[in-house]
Homo-oligomer: A and B are copies of this chain.
Amino acid sequence: MSTVGFRQHDHTHCVHTALAQAEAKCKTRRLQFTPVRRRVLEILLEKHRAMGAYDILGILSAEGLGSQPPVAYRALDFLVQNGFVHRIEQLNAYAACAHPTHDHVPAFLICRSCKAVAETETELTQGRLGAAASTSGFQIERVVVEAEGLCPECVGELP
């Protein structure tokens, strides 16, 4: 449960917890946890999957929270910047962070069939990548690790 998220669970509780944690973190850092930002995080926590900016915008729009793309992108930028949400590069999509209480390098397992996404962690400079960087003098600031494949559910069901 702490590393992989393919299993079912009731998460009304975890949504509330995560929102409360985000609110607290914003308070201590003096960041504005505005209604749109809060709602975008809540949407991503509730859906518990990767969503595109325009999917989110559709919901915001239906709720009268804004209808133009920058509304969604600004909120997402804020949430990504502050570690509440991760961007999944392969999918051009966003997912709520599963471990928002500590700094980490996220890594994702992405099912190419059902698009489920599980988050785990990895080390910043592990193995050959870190070695290559330090050899060449490259200074790593951020690492994207995304594995594509089949989740446990889909492994059995496909050709």
Q: Using a CB–CB distance below 8 Å, which chain A residues touch chain B?
A: 3-4, 6, 89-90, 107, 109, 111-112, 118, 120-123, 126-129, 132-133, 135-152, 155
In whole angstroms, what is the CA distance A91 to B101 when docked?
Answer: 29
Note all chain B residues with C-beta closer than 8 A to A148.
140-144
Asked whether A128 and B122 contact (CB < 8 A) given A90-B89, A146-B143, the answer is yes
Closest to A120 in B: B132
Complex alpha-carbon distance, A121 and B152, angstroms: 27
Task: Give the most central of A138, A141, A148, A155: most B CB within 10 Å.
Answer: A138
* Contact present for B129 and A138 (CB under 8 Å): no
Chain B hits for A147, CB < 8 A:
129, 133, 138, 140, 142-144
**Please, which residue of chain B has its CB at the minimum distance from the CB of A88?**
B89
Contact between B133 and A109 (Cβ–Cβ < 8 Å)?
yes
| Cβ–Cβ < 8 Å partners of A145 in chain B | 129, 143-145
Beta-carbon nearest neighbor of A125 in chain B: B147
Complex partner residue of A150 from B121, B126, B139, B155, CB under 8 angstroms: B139
The 7 lowest CB-CB distance pairs between A and B, nearest first, are A137-B152, A89-B89, A120-B132, A141-B149, A4-B136, A140-B149, A144-B146
Q: When the two chains form the complex, which single residue of B3, B122, B139, B149 contacts A135, counting CB atoms closer than 8 Å?
A: B3
CA distance A122 to B123 in the complex (A): 13
Are A127 and B129 in contact, with the CB atoms below 8 A? no
In the complex, what distance in Å separates the CA atom of A131 from the CA atom of B148?
Answer: 15
Contact B127 A155 (CB under 8 A): no
